[in-house]
C-alpha cells in the first residue's frame, strides 16, 4: 500500500463511563463507555466504544415540549416512569434523558417531587440516564442535590453546567459519582475554560461531557458542527482540556418553522428527517451522544450507526 495518510494526531479522547451495572454498584442493565477515539469519527473503529449513543428525551412537564411528540407518543407522556419505560422497551433508545422541566416553572419549590420523579424513572427503566436539572440558580442547590442523591451509584450524567452556574451540579457529581454535561455557547475557547473551571473545583476529566450547544439544522447548525470539529481536532492534537466526548442536542429541531408550518401529513416525516440529519452530521463531526425527541428518529440513527461501525476499513480497500 503505497499511499499513507498521516493526520499527525498525538492524543486521544478521554473515556467516560455512563451507567453502572450491578457489579459496579448500580442497577442499570448496561453500562456504556464512550470516548477513547484516536482519530476522526468513524475512520477507525474503537472496539470498546459504545458510541454514538442515542438518547431519547422526556420531561415531566410538557408545557414547552413540541405537540408533535405528544401526538405520537400519546398518553404515556403523562407519566415520566411510563414514558421512560416506553423509550426503553418500545422506541429502542440507548439512554433516556429526563428533563425536569417542572423545576423551570416560576416559584417552583416542590423539591421532594424531583426525587420521586427521578426514582420513578430509575425504577421503570434500567438504561443509563441523563438528568437535566433546574435552570434557576436559586433552586439549583437543592434540585441537584436531590437528583444526585436519588441516583447515587448509577453513574448518571447530570446536566447542565455553564460558565456562571456550575457549582451545584459539580458538587452533585462529586458527591455521588456522576458525570457532568458542560455547555458553552458555540465557542471553543469558552468550552475549554469551563472544563478548566470544573477541573479546578474537583470534577475529574473522565466525568465531563462537552456540549458545544447545537443549533438546529438551518438555524445555526453549521456553527455547532464546526465547533465540534474544532474540539475534536484540538483534542487529538493534544489539548487535554478539550479531550472529552461531545453531546449533541438540537432541542429546537421540532419547533423550527419548517417543521411547525409543514402540512399535517408531512409533519412527522419532516420532524424526523430534521432530527436525523442533524444527529448524523453531528456524529460525523464527533458527537458521541445524540439526543432526539421523536421516537421514529431512533431506528434511523441506529441503522446508520451500524453501517458506520463495521470492521476496520483499510483506506486502500480490498
Minimum CB distance to another protein, residue 79 (Å): 26
Instruction: Give the nearest distance from C-beta 59 to another protein in angstroms.
Output: 16
Of 76 and 197, CB closest to another protein = 197
Our CB check for another protein shows the closer of 81 and 159 to be 159
Q: Find the shortest distance in angstroms from Cβ 14 to another protein.
A: 16
Peptide bond into 52 cis (omega under 30): yes
Over the window 236 to 255, marking each residue x when it contacts another protein by CB under 8 A and - when it does not, the resulting string is: -x--------------x--x
CA 32 to chain centre: 13
In the complex, the smallest distance separating the C-beta of residue 15 from another protein, rounded to whole angstroms, is 18
The answer to the question of residue 47 lying near another protein (CB under 8 A) is no
Q: Where are the beta strands (DSSP E) in the chain?
A: 16-18, 32-34, 53-59, 95-99, 129-132, 157-161, 179-183, 208-211, 246-248, 287-292
User: Smallest gap, in angstroms, from Cβ of residue 225 to another protein?
Assistant: 7
Q: Under the criterion CB under 8 A, does residue 217 sit at the interface with another protein?
A: yes
Residue 145: CB minimum distance to another protein, A: 6
Q: Which is nearer to another protein, 124 or 294 (CB)?
A: 294
CA atoms of 269 and 264, how far apart (whole Å): 10
Q: CA–CA separation, 17 vs 78, rounded Å? A: 30
Q: By C-beta, is 122 or 173 nearer to another protein?
A: 173
Tell me how long the chain is. Answer: 318
Cβ atoms within 10 Å, residue 33: 17
Which stretch, 30-38, 87-95, 153-161, 196-204, contacts another protein (CB under 8 A)?
196-204
CB 16 within 8 A of CB 209: yes
Task: List the interface residues with another protein, window 12-41 (CB under 8 A).
Answer: 40-41
DSSP string covering 164-229, please? TB-HHHHHHHHHHT-EEEEE-SS-HHHHHHHHHHHHHHT--GGGEEEE---PPTTTTHHHHHHHHH
> Between 8 and 47, whose beta carbon lies closer to another protein?
8
**Count of C-beta atoms within a 10 Å radius of residue 115:** 17
39: region left, alpha or beta (phi > 0 left; psi from -120 to 50 alpha): beta
Residue 188 has a CB neighbour count (10 Å cut-off) of 20
Residues 48-87 binding another protein (CB under 8 A) are 64
Options 84, 270, 292, 298; binder of another protein; rule CB under 8 A = 270
Number of residues that bind another protein (CB under 8 A): 80
Indicate whether 196 belongs to the interface with another protein (CB under 8 A). Answer: yes
Kindly identify the residues of this chain, within the stretch 115-174, that bind another protein according to CB under 8 A.
140-141, 144-145, 148-149, 167-168, 170-172, 174
Among residues 59, 273, 288, 295, which is the contact residue for another protein, using CB under 8 A? 273
213 belongs to the binding site for another protein (CB under 8 A): no
Of 71-79, 83-91, 109-117, 309-317: span binding another protein (CB under 8 A): 309-317
Q: Shortest Cβ distance from residue 173 to another protein (Å)? A: 9
Q: Are 129 and 161 in contact (CB under 8 A)?
A: no
285 binds another protein (CB under 8 A): yes
CB 58, CB 98: distance < 8 Å: yes
CA dihedral 135, 138, 140, 146 (to 10 degrees): -130
Amino acid at each position: 500500500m503505497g499511499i499513507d495518510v498521516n493526520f499527525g494526531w498525538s492524543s486521544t479522547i478521554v473515556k467516560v463511563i455512563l451507567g453502572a451495572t450491578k457489579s459496579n454498584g448500580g442497577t442499570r442493565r448496561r453500562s456504556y463507555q464512550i470516548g477513547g477515539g484516536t482519530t476522526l469519527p468513524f475512520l477507525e473503529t474503537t472496539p470498546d466504544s459504545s458510541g454514538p449513543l442515542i438518547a431519547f428525551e422526556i420531561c415531566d412537564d410538557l408545557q414547552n415540549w413540541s405537540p408533535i411528540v405528544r401526538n405520537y407518543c400519546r398518553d404515556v407522556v403523562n407519566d415520566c416512569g411510563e414514558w421512560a419505560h416506553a423509550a426503553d422497551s418500545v422506541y429502542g433508545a440507548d439512554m433516556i434523558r429526563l428533563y425536569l422541566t417542572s423545576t423551570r416553572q416560576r416559584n417552583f419549590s416542590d423539591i421532594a417531587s424531583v426525587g420521586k420523579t427521578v426514582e420513578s424513572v430509575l425504577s421503570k427503566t434500567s438504561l443509563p440516564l441523563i438528568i437535566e436539572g433546574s435552570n434557576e440558580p436559586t433552586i439549583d442547590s437543592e434540585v441537584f442535590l436531590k437528583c444526585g442523591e436519588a441516583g447515587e451509584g448509577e453513574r448518571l450524567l447530570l446536566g447542565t453546567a455553564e460558565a456562571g452556574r456550575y457549582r451545584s451540579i459539580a458538587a452533585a457529581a462529586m458527591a455521588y459519582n456522576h458525570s457532568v454535561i458542560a455547555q458553552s455557547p458555540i465557542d471553543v475557547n469558552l468550552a475549554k475554560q469551563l472544563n478548566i473551571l470544573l477541573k479546578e473545583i474537583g470534577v475529574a476529566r473522565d466525568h465531563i461531557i462537552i456540549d458545544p450547544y447545537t443549533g438546529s439544522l438551518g438555524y445555526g447548525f453549521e456553527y455547532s458542527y464546526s465547533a465540534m470539529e474544532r474540539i475534536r481536532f484540538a483534542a487529538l492534537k493534544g489539548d487535554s482540556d478539550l479531550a472529552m466526548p461531545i453531546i449533541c442536542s438540537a432541542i429546537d429541531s421540532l419547533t423550527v418553522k419548517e417543521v411547525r408550518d409543514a402540512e399535517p401529513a408531512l409533519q412527522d416525516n419532516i420532524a424526523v428527517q430534521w432530527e436525523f440529519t442533524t444527529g448524523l452530521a453531528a456524529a460525523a463531526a464527533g458527537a458521541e451522544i445524540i439526543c432526539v425527541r421523536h421516537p421514529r428518529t431512533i431506528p434511523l440513527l441506529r441503522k446508520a450507526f451500524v453501517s458506520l461501525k463495521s470492521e476496520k476499513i483499510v483506506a486502500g480497500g480490498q
